[in-house]
Structure 1
Amino acid sequence: MQKAMKIAIVDDEQDMRQSISQWLALSGFDTETFASAEEALKVLGPDYPGIVISDIKMPGMDGMAFLRKIMGQDSTLPVIMITGHGDVPMAVEAMRLGAFDFLEKPFNPDKMSALAKKAANARRLTMDNRQLRRELSDGGQIMKKLIGTSPVMERLREDILDLGQADGHVLIDGETGTGKTLVAHALHAVGARAGKKFVLVSCTALGEDALAKRLFGPMLPEDSQLPAVEEARNGTLVLEDIEALPDVLQARLLSVINEQGTPAETRIVAISNLQEQGRTCEDVLRPDLFYRLAALRITVPPLRQRGEDILTLFTRLSEQFSEEYGCDTPQVSAQEAAQLLQAPWPGNVRQLINVAERAVLQSRRGSGTIASLLMSDHEEMQPVMTTEGKPLKEYVEAFERMLIDNTMRRHKGSISNVMEELCLPRRTLNEKMAKYGLQRADYL
């Protein structure tokens, strides 16, 4: 379940503090109260996991000075100001300084709760985005997101580490849903530009004129953004769907690349999502641009080539969705494991995410099978299975590894509990864990 959002209530009047706190606690918030702005500032910081409700008129540091102090520390922290009758002009000034909103006394408690929820949602989004940026700037964290022990994933991680340290432009290609944008983030995070700007532009999200302006400018005085080629200076500029870049903009991009010289001032990572049968990115880009962008190249493997990584990913995703929906993680049978391994996964990891979420929802309702989720979305509705057979031994070993992995995770590395549940002697369990590369320390 989602953790209750904190609310810091700052008011010199004890009765007012307590009444606001009690009402918001009943509305599901985690409240804490402060009798003065000075006392609250000892707790509030740039990453305060909540919002603030503050009176304007207080002895010592008043609400306006308090607001200025908070905005100086974290301009995204929502602050709701409480003002008395006749102080509306002051409240308007508070809004200009960055307050989220204001309430005029006497206020309706329901209106206060609704406003607090709105501010809390804004704060939650800000905190989630900050956490994502931290993860994407941490090479170690983002590499952990590239889950899998299959040879193709081992090779992908090695390529990312090697090319991340290089300074040339990179072309990333692969089927839709394989995680190409995640690979672009990883390239940036493990290289020398990790602390610099990472700017992502989709070549299909804007019309030609708007795309030209976003990439190269000129920007109007009222525009808050720099052109992408300026914004990403000394960092990384990622161009998604590079094959959709119009010819005239291909020429302008080539000019920018040629002007930079070597080493490149701004690294360009181009992502190709071309799905037309028999055509490649080389066919649709002008040759001089293609060879500049493809100086270094990474092809992200399709899910169907990743073997038992499919089961590992499905397990992790099922656990995440089960936690989100507040239910038990569905157990996968040997037959279902084989079906997951046999499916061709035309939508790759994106499709697997969808199947895992639906499997959790089905399990919560107590109905449905994984086989039914693996039916094609096309009109013929044939079961989505590959024609490529595998030796029975491979299916058995993949299921066995998944079963031991899941049981170890559920028992948090307790060998005795795993032995009891799987009816295995210690020596056999140890041998199988060594065989499948499972380490007890990873589950503690």
Structure 2
Amino acid sequence: MAQAMKIAIVDDEQDMRQSISQWLALSGYDTETFSSAEDALKVLGPDYPGIVISDIKMPGMDGIQLLKKLMGADSTLPVIMITGHGDVPMAVEAMRVGAFDFLEKPFNPDRMSELAKRASSARRLTLDNRALRRELSGGTQIMNKLIGASPVMERLREDILDLGQADGHVLIDGETGTGKTLVAHALHAVGSRAGKKFVLVSCAALEEEALSKRLFGPMMPEDAQLPAIEEARGGTLVLEDVEALSDTLQARLLSVMNDQGTPAETRIVAISNLQEAGKTSEDVLRPDLFYRLAALRITMPPLRQRGEDILTLFTRLSEQFAEEYGCDAPQVSAQEAAQLLQAPWPGNVRQLINIAERAVLQSRRGSGTIASLLMSDHEEMQPVMTTEGKPLKEYVEAFERMLIDNTMRRHKGSIASVMEELCLPRRTLNEKMAKYSLQRSDYL
């Protein structure tokens, strides 16, 4: 349920303030009253979470002056003016300044409620759009995709926020399927280049001549795009599979980086996806290029090191696929939860995504198990286990957290329904939610 919209009532007459406040409170609004425009301005800021109803004729600062101040601070704030009988010129002036509408005394309370409803809807839309713009500009939306409460994920998010504010080039490495490209997007989104170009080039997808042309030019007149170095100027250039660059192209890239100076005009984020056993990006990149790129470095944690994040990710992914396919998400048993936690996950998050989708599809058909999906991915592995053992307590706690999380989501935060389904007294449920950092507000 959405939080009640606030309504600030500004009127020097106490009886009028109280009557308006009581009527609107009965309609479900959260009201606050002010006896003067001066007092109101101490509270009414640019992001005030509501609307304003103000009398026009007041001692000291009148309603028109208050309206001008409010419009100067936030021109989208809906202000409804109350005018005396026959004060048409004042009403016209108020509308010209930016009032949402006006009420003429004596007014019909139902008319006031209808105006308050329309103004509140407009305000909510404005605030939601404003929050969305801030979220996108701040990179919050992308950061929220980096799901997980494990220590390695907490550290990863901190590193992204720190490195995002820096100017240097970045090297991202780690196992396949760990989300390196997502992190490159996040680095761009949380930094000073967020509003600039983000250009991604896969170095392994092109032959050397075509890659050289794509990166550095020259482009032919018929080519629709600029060379990537020019296209990304002032922004971020992401080089996937940077290890695929030949010695010649590595030298040319280093020359461009040296010409830019420090701080770099264009940030280069290099992603290393080495597949050869025992090889690292340091082994295949020329030393001077490697050290320029690796001055700032992020190594992605493999999924098998992320503990109960595996269950959290599986739950979110299966819910998304269930919604896409129009069916219920599969319920994970304690045994299946342990199998998910114990699997080696060589394909990391990318593999988990595939398993979650296939689990939803087979659940829709009413057949198959999660264990069978894991085994089909690793037929040579009997049984599906990692070499890293964990205490039984960790498996139990991970499953317990997942079970409470799933049940809270299914019941949209209804504590009573969760208590009934899990046969838990309220105090025990509260203690477990606090233990696992689960907030009821996240499920409403």
TM-score (normalised: structure 2): 0.69
Give the Cα–Cα distance (whole angstroms) in 2 for the partners of residues 352 and 310 of structure 1: 8
Asked whether the 8 Å contact 2:378–2:384 carries over to 1, the reply is no
Instruction: Report what 2:440 is aligned to.
Output: 440
Residues 171, 298 of structure 1: 8 Å contact kept:
yes
Contact 2:314-2:353 at 8 Å conserved across structures: yes
- Name the residue aligned to 2:302: 302
Superposed displacement of residue 139, structure 1: 0.5
Matched, 1:369 2:365: no
Whole-Å Cα distance in 1 between the matches of residues 346 and 135 of structure 2?
28
- 1:158-207 superposed Cα distances (whole Å, 9 cap, x missing partner): 00000000000000000000000000000000000000000000001110
8 Å CA contact 1:376–1:382 kept in 2: the answer is: no
**Helix, strand or coil for the counterpart of 1:355?**
helix
Question: Is residue 344–residue 386 contact of structure 1 (8 Å, CA) maintained in 2?
Answer: yes
Which residue identity lines up with residue 320 of structure 1 in the other structure? Q
1:377, distance to aligned residue in structure 2 (A): 3.7
The 1:368/1:378 distance shift into structure 2, 3 A limit, reads closer
**CA pair 152-224 structure 1, distance change in 2 beyond 3 A:** same
Distance 2:404 2:134 in 1: 32
C-alpha distance in structure 1 between counterparts of 2:428 and 2:378, whole Å: 45
- Matched residue, 1:229: 229
Q: What letter matches 2:178 in structure 1?
A: T
**Cα deviation, residue 209, structure 1:** 0.4
Correspondence for 2:336: 336
Note closer, same or farther for the CA distance 1:323–1:379 as it changes in structure 2 (3 Å cut): closer
Give the whole-Å Cα distance in 1 for the aligned partners of 2:135 and 2:350: 20
Q: Which amino acid aligns with 1:398?
A: A
Query: Would the aligned equivalents of 2:178 and 2:300 in 1 still touch at CA under 8 Å?
Result: yes
* Residue in structure 2 matched with residue 215 of structure 1 by the alignment: 215
In the alignment, which residue of structure 2 is the partner of 1:250? Answer: 250
CA distance in structure 2 between the partners assigned to 1:380 and 1:301 by the alignment: 24
**Residue pair 1:177, 1:348 contacting (<8 A) in 2 also:** yes
How far did 1:257 drift? 0.2
Aligned AA (1:209): E
Q: Name the SS of the counterpart of 1:238 in structure 2.
A: strand
Deviation at 1:382, TM superposition (A): 3.3
1:315 counterpart letter in structure 2: T
Pair 1:378–1:154, CA change in 2 (3 A): closer
CA distance in 1, matches of 2:438, 2:183: 25
Q: CA deviation at 1:138?
A: 4.9
Q: Is the contact between residue 322 and residue 328 of structure 1 (CA under 8 Å) also seen in structure 2?
A: yes
Structure 2 segments unaligned to the other structure (5+ residues):
1-132
CA contact (8 A) 1:135 1:142 kept: no
SS across alignment from 2:155: helix
Provide the rounded CA distance (Å) in 2 between the counterparts of 1:410 and 1:241.
41
**For structure 1, which segment, 373-382 or 264-273, has the greater mean C-alpha deviation from structure 2 after superposition?**
373-382
Distance 1:361 1:331 in 2: 13
Q: Which has the greater radius of gyration?
A: 2
**CA–CA distance in 2 between the matches of 1:179 and 1:429?**
34
State the Cα deviation string for residues 206-239 of structure 1 (Å, max 9, x = none).
Answer: 1000000000000011111000000000000000
**Over aligned residues, Cα RMSD in angstroms?**
1.5
Counterpart in the other structure of 1:28: none
Q: Secondary structure at the match of 1:329?
A: coil
Which residue does the alignment assign to 2:285?
285
Distance 1:372 1:198, change over 3 A: same
Following TM superposition, by how much is the alpha carbon of 1:389 offset from its aligned partner in structure 2, in angstroms? 1.6
Conserved? CA contact 2:328–2:364, under 8 Å? yes
Q: Does 1:426 align with 2:406?
A: no
The match for 2:395 is: 395
Q: CA deviation at 1:314?
A: 0.1
Report the equivalent of 2:87.
none
**SS of equivalent to 2:297:** strand
1:168–1:295 Cα contact (<8 Å) kept = yes
The code of the aligned residue for 1:142 comes to I
SS of corresponding position for 2:314: helix
C-alpha deviation, 1:384, in angstroms: 2.7
Aligned residues with identical type, % of pairs: 91
CA distance in 1, matches of 2:137, 2:332: 35
CA deviation vs aligned residue, 1:123-142 (integer Å, no higher than 9, x gap)? xxxxxxxxxx9987650000
CA distance in 1, matches of 2:148, 2:353: 15
For residues 231 and 134 of structure 1, what CA distance do their matches in structure 2 show? 26
Q: Write the mapping of 1:350-365 to structure 2, written as runs, cut at 5 A.
A: 350-365=350-365
Q: Once the 2 structures are TM-superposed, how far is the Cα of residue 385 of structure 1 from its aligned partner? A: 1.5
CA–CA separation in structure 2 for the residues paired with 1:223 and 1:376 = 45
Cα-to-partner distance string for 1:318-370 (whole Å, 9 max, x where unaligned): 00000011001110000000000000100000000000000001100000000
Residue correspondence of structure 1 range 318-333 to structure 2 within 5 A:
318-333=318-333
User: Equivalents in 2 of 1:323, 1:158: separation in Å?
Assistant: 32
Match of 1:165? 165
Q: Between Structure 1 and Structure 2, how many residues are aligned? A: 312
Render the CA deviation track for 1:28-68: whole Å, top value 9, x for unaligned.
Answer: xxxxxxxxxxxxxxxxxxxxxxxxxxxxxxxxxxxxxxxxx
Please tell me whether residue 272 in structure 1 is matched to residue 269 in structure 2.
no
Equivalent in the alignment of 1:179: 179
Moved more, 144-153 or 270-279: 270-279
Please list, as runs of the form range in 1=range in 2, the aligned pairs for 1:76-155 lying within 5 A after superposition: 138-155=138-155
Cα deviation code 1:95-140 (max 9, x no counterpart): xxxxxxxxxxxxxxxxxxxxxxxxxxxxxxxxxxxxxx99876500
2:313 maps to amino acid: L
Asked if 1 retains the 8 angstrom alpha-carbon contact of 2:343 and 2:374, the reply is yes
Q: Which residue of 2 aligns with 1:115?
A: none
Distance of 1:357 and 1:257 partners within structure 2: 42
Alignment partners' CA distance in 2, 1:397 and 1:328: 25
Q: Distance in 1 between matches of 2:135 and 2:372?
A: 35
**Mapped partners of 1:375, 1:262: distance in 2:** 51
Q: Do the aligned residues in 2 keep the contact of 1:243 with 1:281 (CA within 8 Å)?
A: yes
SS at match of 1:177: coil
8 A contact 1:343–1:384 mirrored in 2 = yes
Judge which range, 367-376 or 187-196, deviates more.
367-376
Shift of 1:376: 5.0
Q: CA deviation at 1:379?
A: 5.8
- Following the alignment from structure 1 to structure 2, what is the Cα–Cα distance between the partners of residues 211 and 135? 35
